Chains A and B, each alone.
Chain A
Amino acid sequence: MELLPGTLDLLILKTLRGGAKHGYGIAQHLKVVSEDVLDVGESSLYPALQRLLLNGWVKAEWGASENNRRARYYTLTAAGRKQLEREREDFERMIGAIQKVLA
């Protein structure tokens, strides 16, 4: 299923709120929590992560993965946490408005 434009950043930030994760971990988390509705591919996930890095909302560090491979872990920065709050409010206002229209 296609994501609403602009929501992927929000979902990634929200996912990282629970702690550091690598890219694959983020995709898995989205898939599991959404009960297989959200299947984010590399071609949208990694540009989004780079965008978040550029804006300073997340930072990346290399570490060992659960099966002992080298993996890049993303964590939320203080600015990222604020951004998450902001995007979340915007999103809720937007959803509320859409629902009002649809109701």
Chain B
Amino acid sequence: MKILRRLRYLLRQRQQERELAEEIEFHRRMSGDPRAMGNITRAREEARAVWIWPWLQSVWQDAGYAIRNLRRQPGLALLALAALGFAIGINTSLFTVYNAVAIRPWPVKDPERVVKIFSTDPRHEARMFGGIGIAESRYFASQSRAFSGVAATRQEPVHFGFESFGTPSWAAFVSGNSFRVLGFRMHLGRGVLPEEDRAQSPEAVAVLSFAFWRDRFGSDLSLVGKQVHIDEVPFTVVGVTPEDFTGASDGGGRQDVYLPYPALLLLHPTEQWPRDLLTDAEYCCEFAFGRLVPGVSRSQAAAELEVLDRQFRTSQGTGSRTFTLADSAMFNNPGRKRQMAAAFTLMFTAGMLVVLLACANVGNLLVARASARQKEIEIRRAIGAGRARIVRQLMTESLLLALGASALGLAIAYKLPLVLLNRIGEPGALRLAPDRVVLAYATALAVFACFSFGLAPALHATRAVASRRLPLRNLLLAAQVTLSVVLLMGAGLMLRSLADLRNRDPGFAIEGVSTIAFELPARSYDGAHTQAFYRQLIGAAPGGHFGLTEREPLGNSFAQTDFRPARTPETSRSLIDFQVVTGSYFDVLHIPILAGRNFTLSDKGRNVVLINETLARRFWNGQNPVDKTIVSRQIAREIVGVVRDAHTTNLDQLEPIFYVPFTGFAIPKVLVASNDSATVESIGIAVTRLEPRARMQAAPLRNNLDRWLRGPRLGAQLAGALGLFALILATVGMAGVSAYAVQQRTREIGIRMALGARPAQVVRLVLSGSSRAVVIGLVAGFAIALPASRLLRNVLYGVSPLDPVAYLSVALILAIAGLAASYAPARRATRVDPLTALRHE
């Protein structure tokens, strides 16, 4: 293949030219002819030109011709660009997100050598991928030969002096070697230094992220060396990270400021946990990452960590673990991999269907146009153009369309991901700016699209024997209908599922309940103080119900811990959701106690729990669980009651959950059985009386439900948008085929009408052409959608993938669209004047 040889030459051009120069040099030396000296350059130039020049010239010619041709039919070009551009835009947007989530490494020096470190405890029943403790990460850093450095980090919310309630900034507490392990040029100043990471002498230094420095400090170049207040503690700013560095985290959380680990002692001076975290070898787990020594493979490094881990932990008397190393892409956690792969497979499948649909549509436009250009093509063949040459010419037009569409697609992908991600939450540290990988993807997609919509029409148009009937058009029409059915089915199911979710009874009172979140000055409230504060608050309770809980219902957070009935083996323990609440929580939310009793004040000092029905069924099927004993966190606890199931963690499924009485060690949320601002305010007044510096924010509980529905709603909207796009393209396709049929058969229609055919018969004639393709497409579409809808199983709530309502509506919608698309052409056919028609041609 000439094209392959040419491509290989171009790929290795520099080497090829060097070889040619050497060859000519050899020639000159052998001939010993000084006269040849002057010719060397020319010989090289001319020899090189053989590979590129004539080809370039013909490509240029083809491109110019193609542009003139496309400009002659701007409507077609625009339609094709819009359809393909949208399809490629959707796909490239999706890929941009995928790239940011799963491919793009942290922007650091030699990113391929930087890995995230995950530990797994083989004794745990569920395979969980966790981090490692600070002490152990330091041990690794000092002992490992495979890593040039191992660093640890954790994220905590903090407040800068200027921040209002509810908008904390995120501090990444980092080990002293973190910036060296990552390796990048600071935008300003320096990073955190190893000597600032000593628990005995905490240093109040802060490194700001570029975005935070830009947005909150107006890119103040003189900020380095100045003081900022974090949780009321003065810190000295020592540096600003580079612009493209958006953090080193697992899961893409935002990182606004980097502080050395011991700064935790400055921010929480009265609390014990920062001390334990920094010094206790058993305190687990921080997120860890490391830089591999050149030439060391990941499996070697993981094996070394296992050995070091055993050494470290046998001295502590605990069991050993295994390690998994992963690329530094933002969401690259081996525990999430499968779930993420499933979600993206689904989205990419839909995206590719849209591309194929757009291709079928544009392909059909091109077939129609090629038949209009039949004369031109015949002339070109007659004067000696080979079939391959004409196909190439037609393909150049397709490629131009595809590349134009891909430019449009890139423009869409530049904006769309950010807009969509902002709707479900904040995009955090994801770097969504298109990079080379995204560019390559969009181009590859354009080339793929070009061949899938361009090749068949080009080959079809240049066949030696041109047939009158064009089955290719009907084939492409059937393909369009098939793809539309599949996409519309997806949209239908997602919309049905959203409707089901919205109408679902959550099992607890949502309307007429408010939540109040608090912030207490962190430095003066350690565990004991917090506890005292809430005891006082409960005592000072104004009239009306209110309950305390660590986590709001549907608040998008949950906690799990180990759980087993007493007198069962320790190995049988499971991870179960738990909630820390006061007894009044159930009153406020109208969750009835079905058996036993609620928490009471006399439970103080006793280890009691409440369980929900699902949990009761799971472990005490049929028996009464009240008064039974369970073990959790090595403490025996008595079950005092069973509460009715409620969707407090998850609107989709009912999870087993147990409740532990509130003891006041963590800052809870207050649930108030009222939306009345005066009632909510009265609690605020009670709080301010206890602690004037307390800040709080009230919101209706309804907001949580709305937030919870955001994901499914966005999913349904996206699926709906794709379905609508599919419907439009299919309608345009059907209209085009009918119009073409009428045009082709004007003469025949004229004759039939002259012979007395009635309008109804003419309409039937027009419809019969494309209706078979539509019916075949519908049948094929449903045949594919039936098994394919199982892919949606995991994102559908309360709706079967075989939901008959969705299937029937899709069939109905497409039938209506088909009739609507054929209406205008059919009407035109009935108005054909036999005389004009017969004179036609």
Contacts and interface: CB of A to CB of B under 8 A. Distances in A.
B76 interface: no
A51 B52 CA distance: 11
B2 A42 contact: no
Contact of A46 (B6, B9, B24): B24
Interface string B41-64: 011101111110000000000000
B43 A54 contact: no
Nearest to B1: A56
A47 B43 contact: yes
B2 A56 contact: yes
Interface in A39-91: 41-43, 45-47, 49-51, 53-56, 62, 65, 69-72
Contact of A23 (B9, B23, B42): B23
A69 B26 contact: yes
B27 interface: yes
Interface residues of B, number: 27
Given A42-B39, A42-B40, A42-B43, A54 B23 contact: no
A24 B30 contact: yes
Given A22-B26, A55-B2, A41 B50 contact: no
Nearest to B30: A24
B19 A47 contact: no
B50 A51 contact: yes
Interface residues of A, number: 23
Contacts of A53: 5
A54 B2 CA distance: 7
A50 B6 CA distance: 11
Given A50-B48, A54-B5, A54-B50, A70 B27 contact: no
A42 B36 contact: yes
A48 B291 CA distance: 53
B316 interface: no
**B30, B39, B48: residue with the most chain A Cβ atoms closer than 10 Å:** B30
B31 A43 contact: no
A73 to B, nearest CB: 10
A23 B48 contact: no
B22 interface: yes
B522 interface: no
A10 interface: no
Contacts of B46: 43, 46-47
A56 B2 CA distance: 7
A49 to B, nearest CB: 7
B47 A50 contact: yes
A8 interface: no
Contacts of B20: 46, 50
B26 A70 contact: yes
Most buried by A among B29, B42, B44, B50: B50
B28 interface: yes
A20 interface: no
A42 B27 contact: yes
B contact patch SS: helix
Contacts, number: 70
Given A47-B50, A54-B2, A54-B51, A71 B26 contact: yes
B23 A50 contact: no
A77 B586 CA distance: 87
A27 interface: yes
A23 B47 contact: no
Contacts of A45: 27, 43
B363 to A, nearest CB: 33
B9 to A, nearest CB: 8
B785 to A, nearest CB: 48
Given A41-B39, A42-B36, A72-B19, A47 B47 contact: yes
Contacts of B40: 42
A24 B27 contact: yes
Contacts of B22: 70, 72
A67 to B, nearest CB: 8
Contact of B5 (A23, A56, A62, A70): A56
Given A24-B31, A41-B39, A46 B47 contact: yes
A47 B51 CA distance: 9
A72 B398 CA distance: 41
B690 to A, nearest CB: 87
A9 B198 CA distance: 79
B15 to A, nearest CB: 12
A41 B28 CA distance: 10
Given A24-B31, A56-B2, A47 B49 contact: yes
A8 B26 CA distance: 21
B26 A49 contact: no
Central interface residue in A22, A42, A51, A56, by most chain B CB within 10 Å? A42
B26 A65 contact: yes
Interface in B1-22: 2, 5-6, 9, 19-20, 22
Interface string B391-408: 000000000000000000
B12 to A, nearest CB: 13
Contacts of B2: 54-56
Contacts of A46: 20, 23-24, 43-44, 46-47
Contacts of B42: 43
A54 B49 CA distance: 11
Contacts of B26: 22-24, 65, 69-72
B607 to A, nearest CB: 83
Contacts of B44: 46
Contacts of B23: 22-23, 46, 71-72
Given A54-B5, A65-B26, A69-B26, A43 B19 contact: no
A23 B27 contact: yes
Contacts of A54: 2, 5-6, 9, 50-51
A71 B47 CA distance: 17
Contact of B51 (A24, A42, A50, A65): A50
A42 B24 contact: yes
A24 B23 CA distance: 9
A39 B742 CA distance: 70
Contacts of A27: 27, 31
The 6 residue pairs across chains A and B that have the minimum distance between CB atoms: A46-B47, A42-B43, A43-B43, A50-B50, A24-B30, A47-B46
26 contacts: A22-B26, A23-B23, A24-B26, A27-B31, A41-B43, A42-B24, A42-B36, A42-B39, A42-B43, A43-B42, A45-B27, A46-B43, A46-B46, A47-B43, A47-B47, A47-B49, A47-B50, A50-B20, A50-B48, A50-B50, A54-B2, A54-B6, A55-B2, A56-B5, A69-B26, A72-B26
Given A23-B23, A45-B27, A65-B30, 8 more contacts: A22-B23, A23-B24, A42-B24, A42-B28, A47-B43, A53-B5, A55-B2, A70-B22
